[in-house]
Structures are given as structure tokens and as C-alpha cells.
A and B are shown apart, each in its own frame.
Chain A
Amino acid sequence: MNREKVIFAFFIVLALTLNFGFFIGETSNPNHHNVYELFAALVASLICTVLKFGDRTHVGAMMLATSLVADLQLVAAAVIWGYAAQVGGGVDEMILASVVSLSGGALMANILSVVLLVVETVLVRR
């Protein structure tokens, strides 16, 4: 068992699960979407990206790309939420819907990332 691999896989799966946890629920219902969960998903996603740095294989490059996509969408979601809450007129249903759909996009990227992880593991067979 490789400790580095465990940490790597842990963060990738954590990013996916947190993201999923935030995304699940009625799209525009504020009770179904917790801001802390978005924060945790964003932090896990950022850590994932950093962990994927420096892998020179083709799969590594793909994984980094998916991670960067997830980051981009989650940061966009967080910025929209923060801007609406502080500067705009509060988080209404429309704002929440766009935040949740952005996190849905990030979810897709995270799923791809996990799929790649599984593919790589299966290919290596060790």
C-alpha cells in the first residue's frame, strides 16, 4: 500500500462526494444547499488540483485538466453567491439555481476525475 496513493485517492473521492452533497436536492430550494458544504467542496477541489501537479503522464494531464475545470466552476459559484449576498440583493432563487448548476458542472468534472483514477488503477494492476 502506497501512502501517497491513499492521500491522492482520498482527496479526489472527497472532492466528488462533497460536491455531490452540495449539488443534491431541489435546485432552487435554499434549505437543500448548505454554504459550508460548498466551502468544503471548493477547498477539497483546490487540494486535489495541487496534488495532481507534476504528473507527466497522459492520464495525469487529463486529471489535472478535469480538476482545473472543477475549480473554475466552484470558484465561479462561490463568487456569485458571495457577490449576491454582500453586494447584490441577497441570495434569491435565481442566484441559487445558477450556483447549484455551476456546482453540477463541477460534479461532472469530478466524476470524470474519479473515472480516470479508476482507469489508471485498473491499468496498472499492482
Chain B
Amino acid sequence: MNDVIYILLRRLRAPLVTLILVYAVSVLGLVLIPGQDDQGQPWRMDFFHAFYFVSFMGSTIGFGEVPYPFTDAQRFWTLACIYATVIAWLYSIGTLLALLQEPAFGRLMRRRAFVNEVRRLREPFYLVCGYGVTGSLVVKKLAAREMRTVVLELKQERVDALEMDGLSIRVPRLCADASLPDMLHDAGLRHACCIGVLALTDDDQANLSIAIASKVLVPERMVISRTESDVTTANLGSFGTDLVVDPFRAYAEYLVLTTHAPYTHLVYDWLLNPQHRPMATVHKRREGRWIICGYGRFGRALYGAFRQAGVELTLIDEGKDEQALPAPRVQGIGTEAVTLEAAGVTEAVGIVAGTFHDADNLSIIMTARALNPRLTTVVRQNLGENDLVFQNSRADFVMEPGRIIANRILAQIKTPLLPVFIERMLREHDDVWAHVLLNRMSHVVGERELDSWSFRLCDEETPALLMLQQEQVLKLRTLMKDPRDRTRSLPCMPLMHRRGEQVRLLPGELCELQQGDEILFCGLSEALHKMEWTVNNYNQLQYLLTGREHSDTLLSRLLHRGGKH
């Protein structure tokens, strides 16, 4: 804050000194020059009248010659003074305006406003570095959950985009390089309310320095980072970054699931992605040979994951160097029918168009589909601006790195129990189990967005649940009733119940709850809002348990006592 005032004062030194000198000389001149009063007697202006006259003359208000009409000598001097003072004022005001319009000064002012705004935050917030596709999705979703965020972004246009996105809560934002620790400090890295740092810039080095700065300054704070290379992933993991998302690897794992466990894949998809795939998409043959076009980062990640799952592969790549790959390989881009036919597109079950160019990718799947209409098509979208074309491309899967990272991060932020659930499901349960679960989920939400949330039975999160009397037993079923009408159920279902080390997937409705238990729910987000009433409001909870409208005011207690007598 001091910076701005100091700079302002220093830059205004010359104009202010000029102004003082011009005024002093003008006043002195008027005092020294002899004049006449209305009787023609010699008269000298005093300092008071001289200052008064110069004041209104300098600002060109002009009240005439006071207190007596001037002599010619005085008028000569006044003439000079008028020009001198007007020029001095123009100079001063001009300097001030130029200073205020200077881009550097504007940046300083914006930074100052930003720092003050962050400092005044009194609610928990996430510090988001980078407002690209991923950053904007995360910020929007968090805003929808009324979670505060602070945004640092390197490009001014993206900061402007944030301005125009029209979020429901105010997001402090600054155009600055987030990889500089003092910028992070200004953005609230060491603020007591900052609960997590998300390094989402498209530069691995920047993400790395953000994660390091955060872990060094506040070791226990959650740090989530995106990454695009294995080296950075290992590096980020080495100093305890809480979640590292590599979009290509994450997507490869996700895609491989479709080839051998389509229902498990769908459960995973429903839980992580806001717009989930309909159940009908399962009925397509995916076991067989796949073709991968483009052997870049994405191609390599896919190749590794597919090999691990034992899927037969053919690669199409235009690279010249013949690497020793166990899979058959065809040279070319894959946009022409000749290349695709050479790769055996007619017998394949799926094709992945994973090159760097969006137009090439679209062309590949169009050509491939013309050759083999039953093909499962996966297309990689590199630029967020191409959304419209890709949505209408009729590809079975559109792989967009930004969205994948955002969904993974949101799943982690929403509830840390969700990744635990997914991991258990993949490890312990088969596709039949997943099919049953999927039918239940579909019954609850239909085609709408499946949200997930969790509660931990403790004073901070569920105060009402802990206020129950000893003889009252709290069952899971109670939480799932509608607090407005206890005969109805909320559109949600429990996914997991955790008590210490003991984890139970899909707990029954009669499961009894204790202090310290954690429960993961999924369902429509409106159910979350209603459930929050139950866990926070003792009267609502009593209504759900007993069916009576409970009121604990003094008046009602007195009335009840009266009724008993």
C-alpha cells in the first residue's frame, strides 16, 4: 500500500515545487507593487488579499480586481501571473493524470487491491494458479459449491475471461506469474484460510515451483498439480504433493477399462464426470484389436496401459525412426484410407485418434468410420475452442486433457473418500457388481449429473447428529429422508462407510452410525443441500427420527409442561 503513495509523491515532486514557487512569486509581487485605494491614496496589498487574489486567479475563477481596482503596474504583474499559474496547474494536473494512466501504476494499483482483498478473506479458499480450460472448470464448479477461490493467471485475456464468466461469488484475481514465490505470498499462500493450492498452469516447471514453494512454506497444506511428463510426476511426488494428475495417463487408464470391464468403466465415468455416458453405450464390442494413431505422449501412455491389459494393438505414426516396438506399426498420419486399411481398420474394434492436431484427429475418425461403421472411436481434442465440432463429431469418446484434469481434481476436492471408493471398487469387485451398482445409480439420478459428497460425524461437520440423547440410535436411513416430509427419501444413495480402518462399500440403510464415522454419498446435488439441514439442525433431525415437529424454545417447553399437568 505504501508503494503507491510513495511513487505518487515522488513523481509529483517537481510539479508541486513549481506550483509553490509560482504562487509564492505571484503573491510576493502583488504585495510589493504599490496600488491605489478608491480615494486615490497609495495603498499596498497585504499577504492575505494577495493570496486570496492569486488563489482565484490561478484556478481561473476570476472575481475581478479586489479590494480596489488595480493600477496599471499591478495589471502588468497580474497578466504575467495568470499565465504562470495556469501553466503550473496544467503541468501538475497533467503529470498526475499521466501517472494514473501509466500501465505500471495500474498494475501496482491492481496488485494492491488484490492483496487487500485476499487478506480480508475470512472463509476457506483454494489458490488456483492458471485459469485455462482446467482452471476455469475447477473455479466454476467450486463457485457452484460456494467455495471461494483466488486466481493467479499469467495472461491478461484469461483474467478478462474470468471477469466475463459471471461467477456467483466474487473471485479475487491477478494477472501475474504464479511461479514467483512473492506472488504466491500475495495471493494468500500463507493465509490461515487457504486450504489448498492447485497448480494448473500449462508449464510443468511453473507447476513444480508452485508446488515446491507451497510445500516449503506450509508443509501440511494440500497441493494438487497437473503434469505432462513422467519426470515432473516423479519430482512432484518426491516432496509429498498430494495429488499429481497426468491427463494422458489418467485417460489411458480410464479408456483401458472399457475394453474389459465396461460397467466398472461406466461407474467410474458417472462418479468423476459431470456429464456421464448413458448406460446404452455399453453394448458395443470393444474386445479385440485397437488402432492408435499418433505415438506422442498420449500414444505412449495409451500404449503402456493397453499392453498391460493385454489388448492387441496396431500403431500408426509418421515418425521415421524405427523403434523396437513389439506392436505392428504402419507409417503415416492415419487421415488417408490407404494407411488405415494397411493397419487393418476393417477387423479392428476401436481406433484412437491421438495426434497433436485437432483437424487431423477429426479426419481420422471420419475416414475410419466410413471404412468400418462399427468401430469404437476415441478422439483427442487439443484446443478448448473446438468444443462445438467435437461435440458433434459422433465420436464415442472425446479426450480433452483440460477437462480430465479438472474432473480428477474436483473429485479429490469434493471428498477425499471418492478416490478411496474407486480404488476399492477396481480392486475388489467385478463387472457384475458394477452393473448392479450402476442400475441403482441410474434409478436415483437418471440422466442428470451425479454428485457425490461425504460427511464425517464430528462437531464441525455434523453438530446436530452429535446432540442426540443416549437412547436414540442414529441409522443411515434417517439421513436419507427428506427433512420436509419424512415419508419421502432424498434422491441419493450411500456408497461407502468408513470407521477407522474398517471400510464397507454400499452400506445398508440400517447401518448404525457412531461418532467419527465417515459416509460417502452420491446422488443429485439438491439432496446434498437438504441433507445439510438434517445434519446441522437438531430440530429437523428430531422430526426425522420421531415424526414430531420439535421445538426447543422456552415458550414451547412451558406449554408442554403445562400440557403434562
Chain A residues within 8 Å of B, Cβ to Cβ: 35-36, 39, 43, 46-47, 50-51, 53-54, 56, 78, 82, 85-86
The residues in B between 1 and 29 inclusive whose CB is less than 8 angstroms from any CB of A are 2, 6-7, 9-13, 16-17, 20-21, 24, 27-28
Q: A43-B24, A50-B16, A86-B49 are in contact. List 10 more A-B contacts (CB 8 A).
A: A35-B47, A39-B24, A39-B28, A46-B20, A51-B13, A51-B17, A53-B12, A54-B11, A56-B6, A85-B48
Answer whether residue B461 sits at the interface, using C-beta atoms and an 8 A cutoff.
Answer: no
Looking at A39, A46, A50, the one whose CB has the most chain B CB atoms below 10 A away is A50
Instruction: Give the docked Cα–Cα distance between A56 and B8 (Å).
Output: 13
Judged by a CB distance under 8 angstroms, whether B46 is at the interface is yes
Closest chain A residue to B25, Cβ basis: A43
Compute how far the CA of A85 lies from the CA of B24 in the bound complex, rounded to whole angstroms.
20
Interface centre among B9, B49, B51 (most CB of A within 10 A): B9
Give A99 to B9 CA distance when docked, in angstroms. 30
Whether B20 lies near A82 (C-beta < 8 A) is: no
A-B CB contacts (within 8 Å), total count: 45
Can you give 20 contacting A-B residue pairs, CB < 8 Å? A35-B46, A39-B24, A39-B47, A43-B21, A43-B24, A47-B20, A47-B21, A50-B17, A51-B13, A53-B9, A53-B12, A53-B13, A54-B6, A54-B9, A54-B10, A54-B11, A56-B2, A82-B47, A85-B48, A86-B49
Of B2, B17, B31, B51, the residue contacting A47 (CB under 8 A) is B17
Main secondary structure of the interface of A (DSSP, over half): helix
Q: Which B residues form the contact surface with A (CB < 8 A)?
A: 2, 6-7, 9-13, 16-17, 20-21, 24, 27-28, 31, 46-49, 51
Given the complex of chains A and B, what is the CA–CA distance between A56 and B31 in angstroms?
A: 38
Contacts of A85 in B (CB 8 A): 46, 48
Chain B residues with CB under 8 A of A50: 13, 16-17, 20
A96 to chain B, nearest CB (A): 15
The 3 A-B pairs at the shortest CB distance, nearest first, are namely: A54-B10, A53-B9, A82-B48
Give the CA-CA distance A107 to B56 in the complex, in Å.
31
Given the complex of chains A and B, what is the CA–CA distance between A53 and B24 in angstroms?
20
Q: Which chain A positions have C-beta within 8 A of B46?
A: 35, 82, 85-86
Contacts of B10 in A (CB 8 A): 53-54
The answer to whether A54 touches B13 (Cβ under 8 A) is: yes
Contacts of A56 in B (CB 8 A): 2, 6
Partner of A78, one of B6, B17, B21, B47: B47
**Bound form: Cα–Cα A64–B48 in Å:** 27
Bound together, the chains give a CA A78 to CA B24 distance in angstroms of 14
Q: How far is the CB of B12 from chain A (nearest CB, A)?
A: 7
Set of chain A residues within 8 Å of B48, measured between Cβ atoms? 82, 85-86
Q: In whole angstroms, what is the CA distance A51 to B14 when docked?
A: 8
> Taking the nearest CB of chain A, how far is it from the CB of B104, in angstroms?
16
Kindly identify which residue among A43, A53, A86 contacts B20, using a CB–CB cutoff of 8 Å: A43
In Å, the complex CA distance between A80 and B10 comes to 32
Chain B residues contacting A47 (CB-CB under 8 Å) are 17, 20-21
Q: How far is the CB of A3 from chain B (nearest CB, A)?
A: 14
Minimum CB–CB distance from B438 to chain A (whole Å) comes to 66
Docked complex Cα distance between A72 and B21 (Å): 19
Contact A39 B13 (CB under 8 A): no
